[in-house]
Amino acid sequence: MISLDHDLRILLSGLFGLLVVASIIGAVLAHFRHNDTITNLNARIRAWWLMCTISVMALLIGQTGSVILFALMSFYAFRECITLTPTRRGDHEALFWCFFIILPLQYLLVGMEWYGVFTIFIPVYAFLFIPTRIAIAGDTTHFLERSAKIQWSLMLAVYCVSHIPALLMLPIPGYEGENLKLVLFVMIVVQISDVLQYVFGKLWGRRAIVPKLSPNKTVEGFVGGILSASLVGMGLFWITPFNPWQAFAISLLITLLGFAGGLCMSAIKRDRGVKDFGAMLSGHGGMMDRIDSLCFASPVFFHVIRYFYC
């Protein structure tokens, strides 16, 4: 169990205090006005109560709890990605390997802190194994499309997400034993960017960034959400090894990557003709819908810290 130091107590108190305020505002708005925007806002708040509670409880257990939590998140997100498109019988053996061997091995390597292997295990070895296993099944119909779908899903849902608990392994001088705060930092900044982009877009959004893909993502929402979330990250510099301006620059980087991740996930859903990846979180989509931004942001955040701060 990780002990709660002064900084963590302040951070978690602020996080859950913000959720309490948001819940009260949402309830008041719902009492006086009923529309899709307010309903969507309250669904987001309920989903974040659930995710924040589960995430903080698991993370406070320590590295083992963090690895298990994100492994389960990867499992459900990977399943959602795979179920979006039909699979053929020739894919079943490869999928078995992905779910029950490759995914657990990736997180085992993270838990073992074996950096040299976990960073190449999926993009090299798994990427070569998957099409080979499908080819052995002898079904060549849409072979490239089927292989790429599994590889892409594994890369996003497992490889990218596994870099979040991997933050706990980084040996940052003068920051020993505090890496949990980096996990909370990246999750808070990236996810609050999503919320603020939604809020700014609803309040002042006029021009859609990619109208054919996601008409709800506006230029005004993008600029307001990215900049305000970056300022939030700057304000959280005290829980990181960064100075204020470094915290702002890194927050800007990961929020931009988070936006790119959300945009690409929207493209996948638009292509498949669905609104959400799943229905795991009542009223607010599936696991991948909640972590789509983290998929792009977390590996870059991990490597920036490893390169510049370790």
Q: Has residue 193 got a pLDDT over 70?
A: yes
* 8 Å CB contact between 51 and 16: no
State the pLDDT confidence band at 213, using cuts at 50, 70 and 90: confident
Report pTM.
0.90
The separation between the first and the last C-alpha atoms of the chain, rounded to the nearest angstrom, is 25
**Which residues does residue 208 pair with via DSSP β-bridges, in sequence order?**
218
Count of beta carbons in the 10 Å neighbourhood of residue 144: 10
* 8 Å CB contact between 127 and 151: yes
* 8 Å CB contact between 183 and 167: yes
**Spatial separation of the C-alpha atoms in residues 6 and 8, rounded to whole Å:** 6
What mean pLDDT do residues 120-136 have? 96
Angle, helices 180-204 vs 6-32, to 10°: value is: 20
Task: Give the torsion through C-alpha atoms of 285, 291, 295, 301, to 10 deg.
Answer: 160
Q: 104 CB contacts (<8 Å, ≥6 apart)? A: 71
Supply the pLDDT for residue 108.
Answer: 96
**Spatial separation of the C-alpha atoms in residues 197 and 91, rounded to whole Å:** 38
**Which residues does residue 218 pair with via DSSP β-bridges, in sequence order?**
208
Supply the pLDDT for residue 283.
Answer: 55
Supply the pLDDT for residue 284.
Answer: 61
Q: Residue 205 burial by CB count (10 A; 0-12/13-18/19+): exposed, middle or buried?
A: buried
The 3-state DSSP class for residue 62 equals coil
Give the helix ranges, DSSP H, for the chain: 6-32, 36-61, 63-83, 92-97, 103-111, 115-118, 127-136, 143-154, 163-166, 180-204, 219-235, 244-272, 287-309
**Spatial separation of the C-alpha atoms in residues 220 and 112, rounded to whole Å:** 44
Q: Has residue 1 got a pLDDT over 60?
A: no
Q: Has residue 282 got a pLDDT over 60?
A: no
Query: In this predicted model, what pLDDT tens digit does every residue of 19-42 receive, in sequence order?
Result: 888 888 878 877 777 766 677 777
Query: In this predicted model, what pLDDT tens digit does every residue of 67-90 receive, in sequence order?
Result: 988 999 999 999 999 998 778 888
**Spatial separation of the C-alpha atoms in residues 226 and 259, rounded to whole Å:** 8
Supply the pLDDT for residue 230.
Answer: 96
Mean of pLDDT over the chain: 87
Q: What percent of the chain has pLDDT over 70?
A: 93
Q: Has residue 3 got a pLDDT over 70?
A: no
The 3-state DSSP class for residue 88 equals coil
Return the higher-pLDDT residue of 52 and 240: 240
**Spatial separation of the C-alpha atoms in residues 205 and 188, rounded to whole Å:** 23
**Spatial separation of the C-alpha atoms in residues 139 and 143, rounded to whole Å:** 7
Task: Give the torsion through C-alpha atoms of 204, 39, 31, 46, to 10 deg.
Answer: -110
Count of beta carbons in the 10 Å neighbourhood of residue 8: 18
Q: What percent of the chain has pLDDT over 90?
A: 51
**Spatial separation of the C-alpha atoms in residues 185 and 297, rounded to whole Å:** 12
Return the higher-pLDDT residue of 259 and 274: 259
Q: Has residue 147 got a pLDDT over 90?
A: yes
Q: Has residue 206 got a pLDDT over 90?
A: no
Q: Has residue 104 got a pLDDT over 90?
A: yes
**Least confident piece of the model among 95-99, 139-143, 245-249:** 139-143
* 8 Å CB contact between 265 and 292: yes
Structure tokens at 18: 């913000």
